[in-house]
Amino acid sequence: MKSDPKIQVPDGLDLNAIPTHVAFIMDGNGRWAKKRLMNRVKGHEQGAQTVKEVVTACRELGIDVLTLYAFSTENWARPKEEVKALMYLLKRFLRNETEELREKDIRLNIMGQIERLPDDVRKEAEQAMAATEKNSAMILNLAISYGAREEITRAVQQIAAKIRSGALDDKDITDKTISDHLYTAGMPDPDLIIRTSAEFRLSNFLMWQAAYSELAFTPTLWPDFTRQEFYQILIDYQQRDRRFGKV
Ligand code: FPP
C-alpha cells in the first residue's frame, strides 16, 4: 500500500522501502505502572493508547500488515483480576475503534483461540471483524489467546484430518501447506518484529513466520513507545542487509 502523502516523516526514512509486515511484542506495561506506584492495569490502559498511535502510524506509512501480540495463551495464568481487566480493555478497544478502523480502511483479524474468550469479548471481536472484512488498505492482526505452539499444533491437526479424509496426500505437504494452515494464512511473513522493554525473547510469538524476520529490541516500556522511536527503528531496519540465507 502507498503511504499517506500528507505524513511528516523524519529525514532518513525511505518511504519506498517500508516493510510489508511489522509485528510487535508489546511488553512492559506492568513495569511502567510499577515505576509509578500504580496498579498494573493502569499500565495496560496506557498501553492501549500506544496501540492506537502505532496503528495510525502504520496505516500512514503504508504498511500492509500489522500484528500485535495482545494476549498470549500463557497470559490466562495471570491473576484473575488482571485477566479480567485485559479482557475489558480488549472489548473496549474493539467496540470503540471499529468505526475508526472502517474509516481508515483497516481490516481487523483476530488470531488465536477466539473460542476461549468470554462471550461478550468474542461477540465484539466477531462483529468488529465482520464490520471491517471488506477493508483493504491494511490488515491489523490482533493476537489474542495466541501462542505459536498452539497455532502449529492446530495446523498439524487440520493437515492430519485432510490426509485422513483423503483430501491431501502426505507427499504433497510443503512449507506452504503449513503456512496455509496458520492464523496468518495468505499473509506475508513479518519483515520486522519489534519487542519493547528490554526482553530478548520471542515468547511463543509467530515462531514459524519469524524464520527470516529482522528482530529489533528497545528498552522503552510499551506505554512510553512513540512514533518517533518507531521511525528510528524503521530507519535502522532499512540499513540492514537481508540475505535470506543467500550470499
Ligand atoms: C505485556 O506487558 C503486555 C501484555 C500482556 C498485554 C498487552 C496489552 C495491551 C498493550 C493493552 C490492550 C491491548 C489492546 C489491543 C487494546 P506486561 O504486563 O507483561 O509487562 P511487565 O513485563 O512489565 O509486567
Q: Is 19 in the pocket of ligand 1 (CB under 6 A)?
A: no
Main-chain phi, psi angles of 179, to 5 degrees: -55, -40
Question: What is the torsional sign of CA 230, 235, 236, 241?
Answer: positive
Helix (H) or strand (E) holding 85: helix 80-103
CA distances from 81 to 63, 74, 88, 125, 179 (A): 35, 15, 10, 21, 36
* Residue 80 is assigned to a structural domain of this protein: yes
- Does residue 120 lie in a domain region? yes
| pLDDT given at position 7 | 78
Q: Ligand 1 center to residue 145 CA distance, Å?
A: 13
In a domain, 213, yes or no: yes
In one letter, which amino acid is 186?
G
Instruction: Compute the mean pLDDT over every residue in the chain, rounded to the nearest whole number.
Output: 96
Among 157, 151, 211, 158, CA closest to 184: 151
Q: How far apart are CA 227 and CA 247, in angstroms?
A: 33
* Residue 224 included in any domain: yes
**Three-state secondary structure call for residue 217:** strand
In a domain, 219, yes or no: yes
Asked if residues 73 and 113 have their Cβ atoms less than 8 Å apart, the reply is: yes
Res. 3: pLDDT tops 80: no
Is residue 1 scored above 80 in pLDDT? no
Atom of ligand 1 nearest to the CA of 199: 22
pLDDT at 66: 99
Pick the closest to residue 152 from 183, 191, 189 (CA basis).
Answer: 183
Look up the domain containing 122 and give its range.
18-146+189-235
**Is the CB of residue 194 below 6 angstroms from any atom belonging to ligand 1?**
no
Query: What's the pLDDT at 8?
Result: 81
H/E segment holding residue 46: helix 40-61
Q: What is the pLDDT of residue 57?
A: 97
pTM of the predicted model as reported, rounded to 2 decimal places: 0.96
Average pLDDT (174-197) is 98
**Catalytic amino acids?**
27, 75
Q: Does residue 160 lie within any of the structural domains?
A: no
For residue 227, which of 53, 101, 23 has the smallest C-alpha distance? Answer: 53
In a domain, 197, yes or no: yes
75 lines ligand 1 (CB under 6 A): yes
Kindly state whether residue 184 falls inside one of the protein's structural domains: no
Nearest residue by C-alpha to atom 18 in ligand 1: 30
Q: Are 177 and 155 in contact (CB under 8 A)?
A: no
Q: Which CATH number covers residue 83? A: 3.40.1180.10
The residue contributing the CA closest to ligand 1 atom 22 is 28
Instruction: State the pLDDT confidence band at 5, using cuts at 50, 70 and 90.
Output: low
At 9, the pLDDT band (50, 70, 90 cuts) reads confident
- The terminus-to-terminus CA distance of the chain in angstroms comes to 29
Name the nearest CA neighbour of 46 among 29, 64, 65: 29
CB 29 near ligand 1, within 6 Å: yes
pLDDT digits (tens, 9 = 90+) for 215-239: 999 999 999 999 999 999 999 999 9
pLDDT of residue 241: 86
Per-residue pLDDT tens digits for 33-67? 999 999 999 999 999 999 999 999 999 999 999 99
In DSSP terms, which residues pair with 90 in a beta bridge? none
Q: Which whole number is the average pLDDT over 188-209?
A: 98
Into how many domains does the chain fold? 1
Contact between 4 and 62 under an 8 Å Cβ cutoff? The reply is: yes
